Amino acid sequence: MGPLIEGKTAMSPTTHQTADTTIIGGGFFGSMIACHLAAKGQRVILLERGENLLERASHNNQARVHQGYHYPRSLITGLRSRENYTRFVAEFGDCVHRGFDKYYAIGREFSKVNAAQFELFCKRIGAPLSEAPIQVKALFDRGLIEEVFRVEEAAFDARKLTAMVWYRLEKSNILVWTKSEATRVEHSAGGIRVTANRLGRTVAIQSNQVFNCTYSDLNGILRASDLPLIPLKHELAELALVQPPPILAKLGITIMCGPFFSLMPFPSTPWHSFSHVRYTPHAGWNENTADDMSPQEARAMGEPVSRVEMMRLDALRYMPDVAAIIPKKSLFEIKTVLPVNEKDDGRPILFRRDCGLPGLHCVLGAKLDNIHDILDEIDNAGALAARHAA
Ligand SMILES: Cc1cc2nc3c(=O)[nH]c(=O)nc-3n(C[C@H](O)[C@H](O)[C@H](O)COP(=O)(O)OP(=O)(O)OC[C@H]3O[C@@H](n4cnc5c(N)ncnc54)[C@H](O)[C@@H]3O)c2cc1C
């Protein structure tokens, strides 16, 4: 297969295509899995519904490179994040922004952890933590905030990540089709067939295996293919982008662990992302059966009215300088997690092989640094399959 890449190289119309692996979904996970398999010599085709790669959740998120601090109620997620942070920063260092100081504060009331528990948790996962300087503590209302810690946490630049991903895909000779929506997956002689709508034409792609990397739309392709759904929990999330006042410009702030807020650089813009546990989720629902609302249906209802003012009014109680933020725009995205993590807030990966069909694998990454766990899992599964075949 030649290096045919949509928008980069002219290609003739085609209604049939073959590959070793078809990847559905050109977010960070689909793109990185495509590169990983191509590096092992596979011919890979990547289908993305949108006009560009990494335009959905891989862009519309808080851009936090997790190092575990965020998950004091899930030791496993904390530990995995710690390990993956190092790997992520090493591999995607050019896309990682560290030009700010990051602080985690602990609320006195309504918090699910106290300062001592948070400190102990960080110690257990080996995450660096120190006391915040006095001038930073002074930014908080100490009647509402028990303690403030300095931590090491970075943010990624999703635009730089997109450019890096394109570069890798091009170098790997992967066939990338944007504006191409997979509409059905089915068994076919000698493998698995994906039907896709590509620029108004129907295309059939024959391959040995298919990775469904569509994140919130994971069940969309399963529904359309009459396959059992994976129980998922969705949340329509608002991430506000705001101009911080100068005193907060070089700071990232997260208050744990309850109905609080986060304000931290969003490196692909000059702004900070601003989110609030109470106001960021506009709606939440489970998708267990075909009768439940799909993310596509939710999107079709349009964007809700912004709640950035509610976020601001609550956050300034804890940190009075938040009063001076200037809202710029809001990103709305559907956040998807496994229902099992509703209580502990953990963010494990989902990697389900032969998901309703032999050769159809479903992947849910939950946060970007999980990519390393997914790629390890794919390699382990490949090695296991090879052992069984031998
Ligand atoms: C509000 C919010 C905040 C978050 N904060 C963080 C954070 O701070 N740090 C972090 O690491 N993670 C965070 N996450 C999680 C992170 O964004 C996701 O884990 C990650 O982006 C998932 O990547 P993905 O490639 O699986 O999904 P996506 O980037 O959504 O990619 C899926 C792609 O599939 C395409 N697609 C869907 N259906 C089809 C189809 N039928 N055919 C073809 N293409 C299709 C979509 O267009 C999309 O481009 C956050 C998520 C949200 C929503």
Stronger pLDDT, 390 or 143, i.e. the higher one: 143
Q: How far is the CA of 55 from the centre of ligand 1 (A)?
A: 8
For ligand 1, whether the C-beta of 66 sits within 6 Å is yes
pLDDT at 201 over 60: yes
For ligand 1, whether the C-beta of 214 sits within 6 Å is yes
Query: Among residues 132, 91, 388, 351, which one has the least CA distance to residue 254?
Result: 132
Q: Looking at residues 70-92, what average pLDDT do you find? A: 94
pLDDT at 14: 52
Q: Amino acid identity, residue 262?
A: S
For ligand 1, whether the C-beta of 158 sits within 6 Å is no
Degrees to nearest 5, angle at CA 304 with 300 and 305: 155
pLDDT at 382: 77
Give the least confident one: 156-160, 209-213, 379-383.
379-383
Helices (H), 147-287: 158-171, 218-224
**Alpha-carbon gap, residue 70 to 350, rounded angstroms:** 19
**Which residues of the chain form CATH 3.50.50.60?**
16-56+159-229+348-389
Helices (H), 5-155: 28-39, 75-91, 115-125, 134-137
For ligand 1, whether the C-beta of 335 sits within 6 Å is yes
| pLDDT tens, residue by residue, 88-109 | 999 999 999 999 999 999 999 9
| pLDDT tens, residue by residue, 308-327 | 999 999 999 999 999 999 99
Q: Looking at residues 187-205, what average pLDDT do you find? A: 94
| pLDDT tens, residue by residue, 231-251 | 999 999 999 999 999 999 999
Question: What tokens were used for 16?
Answer: 């049939």
| pLDDT tens, residue by residue, 168-185 | 999 999 999 999 999 999
pLDDT at 10 over 50: no
13: burial class by Cβ within 10 Å (0-12, 13-18, 19+)?
exposed
pLDDT at 277: 97
Mean pLDDT of the residues in the chain: 93
Atom of ligand 1 at shortest range from CA of 364 = 26
Q: How far is the CA of 270 from the centre of ligand 1 (A)?
A: 22
**Alpha-carbon gap, residue 186 to 206, rounded angstroms:** 10
Q: How far is the CA of 367 from the centre of ligand 1 (A)?
A: 9
| CA trace torsion 119, 123, 128, 130 (10° rounding) | 40
Sorting pLDDT into bands at 50, 70 and 90, what band is 390? low
Sorting pLDDT into bands at 50, 70 and 90, what band is 348? confident
Query: Contact at 8 Å (CB) between 77 and 257?
Result: no
Stronger pLDDT, 211 or 15, i.e. the higher one: 211
For ligand 1, whether the C-beta of 367 sits within 6 Å is yes
Q: How far is the CA of 213 from the centre of ligand 1 (A)?
A: 9
Query: Contact at 8 Å (CB) between 187 and 195?
Result: no
Beta pairing, strands 261-265 & 251-256: antiparallel
| CA trace torsion 324, 329, 330, 331 (10° rounding) | -140
Atom of ligand 1 at shortest range from CA of 53 = 49
Q: How far is the CA of 57 from the centre of ligand 1 (A)?
A: 3
Q: Looking at residues 301-305, what average pLDDT do you find? A: 97
Q: Looking at residues 1-20, what average pLDDT do you find? A: 57
**Alpha-carbon gap, residue 79 to 303, rounded angstroms:** 36
Question: What tokens were used for 145?
Answer: 């905030």
Atom of ligand 1 at shortest range from CA of 63 = 8
pLDDT at 132: 98
Residues 78-156+232-337: name the CATH superfamily: D-Amino Acid Oxidase, subunit A, domain 2 (3.30.9.10)
**Alpha-carbon gap, residue 142 to 132, rounded angstroms:** 13
pLDDT at 3: 39
Sorting pLDDT into bands at 50, 70 and 90, what band is 4? very low
Q: How far is the CA of 100 from the centre of ligand 1 (A)?
A: 25
Give the least confident one: 5-19, 72-86, 365-379.
5-19
Question: What tokens were used for 122?
Answer: 């960080």
Sorting pLDDT into bands at 50, 70 and 90, what band is 342? low
Query: 16-56+159-229+348-389 adopts what CATH topology?
Result: FAD/NAD(P)-binding domain (3.50.50)
pLDDT at 264 over 80: yes
Displacement of CA 287 from its chain's centroid (Å): 18
Which of 6, 49, 89, 165 is the best mutation target for the ligand 1 pocket, counting ligand atoms within 8 Å of the beta carbon and taking the most? 49
Q: Amino acid identity, residue 166?
A: W
pLDDT at 138: 98
Sorting pLDDT into bands at 50, 70 and 90, what band is 5? very low
For ligand 1, whether the C-beta of 181 sits within 6 Å is yes
Sorting pLDDT into bands at 50, 70 and 90, what band is 9? very low
Q: How far is the CA of 10 from the centre of ligand 1 (A)?
A: 28
Please give the C-alpha separations between residue 200 and each of 13, 143, 176, 203, 376, in angstroms, as whole numbers.
11, 60, 17, 9, 37
Query: Contact at 8 Å (CB) between 98 and 190?
Result: no
The SS3 assignment for 105 reads strand
For residue 67, the 8-state DSSP code is: -
Q: Whose CA is nearest to atom 51 of ligand 1?
A: 61
**Alpha-carbon gap, residue 230 to 340, rounded angstroms:** 12
Question: What tokens were used for 204?
Answer: 């059939």
Query: Among residues 36, 44, 20, 361, which one has the least CA distance to residue 177?
Result: 44
Q: In what order do the strands lie in the sheet with 209-212?
A: 175-177, 44-47, 21-24, 209-212, 360-364, 350-352
**Which residues of the chain form CATH 3.30.9.10?**
78-156+232-337
For ligand 1, whether the C-beta of 263 sits within 6 Å is no
